[in-house]
Amino acid sequence: MTVDASAFLARWHRVVAEKNLGALGDILALDVTLGAPPYWTKLQGRDVVRHLLGIIITIVEDFTYRREWISGSDLALEFTGHVGDRELQGVDLVTLDGDGRVCNIDVMIRPINALIALRDSVAPRMAEFLS
């Protein structure tokens, strides 16, 4: 089956621009996994992944997608933004399932000071959500 990655990308951009968590859930597979920038062990499940992505696109200011690559059902999406006065550059590596939903997303960010600032902002909110 061919996945329409371009159609997915249009939905993804709309969701991120609108910070629309309901619509974000619709484009995540139920058992989606996410490799977060600070940790090796992946998060799993639509609710927790949606919550984390929602926090990230809220905390990273001026979140803007830059270069994008599509190869079959795999995408690489570069983004920039800042956390306070710490500029950052990052990449989402996204894999779509046969239904065009995200089944895995790995996120990498540079530099360290922005990554740590992001982690320190996200961690308490995720702990609250998970408790």
State yes or no: residue 81 binds its own copies (CB under 8 A). Answer: no
Nearer to its own copies, 11 or 119 (CB): 119
State yes or no: residue 97 binds its own copies (CB under 8 A). Answer: no
Residue 9, Cβ density class (10 Å: 0-12 exposed, 13-18 middle, ≥19 buried): middle
State yes or no: residue 111 binds its own copies (CB under 8 A). Answer: yes
Nearer to its own copies, 54 or 90 (CB): 90
Sheet holding 102-110, edge to edge: 43-44, 28-35, 102-110, 86-96, 74-83, 61-71
CB of 20 to its own copies, least distance (A): 26
Task: Answer for the pair 5, 73: CB distance below 8 angstroms, yes or no.
Answer: yes
Q: Which residues bind its own copies (CB under 8 A)?
A: 35-40, 67-71, 74-76, 78, 86-87, 89-91, 93, 106-116, 119
